[in-house]
Structure 1
Amino acid sequence: MSSLFDTRDEAQLLPAMRQARQAIGRGDLVVLPTDTVYGVAADAFNARAVQALLDAKGRGRQSPPPVLVAGVTTLRALVAEVPEPVERLVEAFWPGGLTIVLPAQPSLSWDLGETRGTVAVRMPDHRLALELLEDTGPLAVSSANLTGQAAAVRAIDARDMLGDSVAVYLDGGPSSRGIASTIIDATSLVGAAEEPLVRVLREGAIDLSALRGVLGDLLEPDPERTGARAPSVAEDPPA
C-alpha cells in the first residue's frame, strides 16, 4: 500500500524523504513535485523500475521517459557531448523548465526504452526534487498521470490516477506553474551535421523568444510544435 506525505509539514518531511529514497533504492516508484507538474520517478539505471513506470502510466517502450538530474556534472556523465550552445542554454535556463535531448553516453548500462541512442535531460527548479536527486542519482521521471490524461498538478490527483503502483507520494502543494517543460532536440549539434539546428519539439515553460535570445540562428526558423517529438520524448509531458 502506498504512503502519502505532506512535505510542507516539518514533522512529515524527514520520514517522507527517507521513505522516498528507500523506495527508489528497491526499485519502486515515487511521485514528487517539480517546478512544472508532478512527476512519477524511478531509478534510471534500474530497467525493472523504468518498466514499472511505463506500465503504471500505460505506455510502451516506444515512449521512454526523460531523466531528471541534480546538476550539470550529471548531465555530462549521461550524454556523449555537451556542445557549446547547450552550455549556454544550461547556464540560462537550468534549473528550470527546459528539457534537452542529446545523444546518450554509449557506455552507460541502462534501458529507458526505445531511445534510439538519445536521452532527454532536465534539471528541475524545485528544492525537494533536487534534494532527492542528490541522494538517489539520475531519475527517470515522467508526468504523474495515466497516458492520455492531464498531468497532475496536485499529489492527490496523481494518486487518484496511479494508485498503489506508486510506493510513496510526496505532496508539496499545488504546482506553482502547472506548465510542462519546453523540449528541444539538440542532437544535430553533436557530430558532423550539414545544418546543425536546435529543433523545438514542444513549447512549454520556456518561450521561443527566450530560446532565440540564447541560440540566435541556431534555433530553427520554423519550429515543429504540435505532435513533434524527439526519439526519446514521449507524448505525455515530462515533468
Structure 2
Amino acid sequence: MSKKHFRIERVADAPSLEKTFEPTLQLFKGKGLPVDKVMGYLRDTTEFDLIEKEYLRYVQVRQEIEALLSQGQTWQTVYDSAVSRQELWTLEAFLDAIEAQQGSKIESIDHLSGITEIEDREALASVVTHGRESKYLRALRKAIEDGAVLSDLQQVEPAGFGLAPSWTGSSGEEANKQTMILWAIGEGYVISFRSYDKVSPHLRSIANDLNAPYSVVIDAFEAYHERRKTLHAN
C-alpha cells in the first residue's frame, strides 16, 4: 500500500471526513450522471477506489432521500424506500438527512422517533448507532489509505462520531474502538486477507506497514473473516 502524508485531524471528527472526499464528489457531479445511472457507472469505472465508491453510494442515497422529501413524503416512506439495514451507508444517509433538516444532532431514539414518527424502535436504534458506525469505519479506513499507522488509528475516538465507548455493532456483536480498528484493517487490506491464510509471511508486511504488532494483524485477519461471515448470514 502506498503511503500518503497522513494528518490525524483529517479524520478526528465526522465533518472533516466529508472534506477528504470533496474532489471525488466534484468529479462525480461533473459527470452529470442521473441518479439511476450512478450504480452502473461505479461498478464499471476504475476511476475511484473502493472507499470512494462506497462514499458515492452514500451520496446517491442522500440524493434519493432529498428527492423524496421534496415530494412531501413522510420520513416513514423515505425510510421504507431508501434504507436497507444491510447497507450501512443508507442508514448513515438517512440519519444525516434528518440532522441536516433539523440543524442539530439526534440525541436519542426517542428524539429520532419524535421527529420521524417512525414507531419501530429497533429500526431507529439501527439508524442512530449503525449509521454512525458506518461513518466511523469509513474514517478509519480512509486514514489507513492515507498512511495512518496503528497509533494514529487509536487517536480516532468513537465519541467524535456520536458513538458510545461500546455498542452493539452491525454484526450483532459488541463493538468498540478496538474492534472497529481491527475491522478497518481488514477492510483496508481486503485483497491480502482474502488471498492469504493467517500463517502467510505476507501478513508480516502488513504489520510493518501499520507499525503494529503481528498479533494485531492476526486479530484483524480473524475479525475480518468472522465479520464477513456474520454479515452474509444476516
Superposed pair shares fold, TM > 0.5: no
Higher relative contact order (CA 8 A, sep 6+): 1
Q: Which has the larger radius of gyration?
A: 2
More helix by share: 2
TM-score (norm 2): 0.30
TM-score (norm 1): 0.30
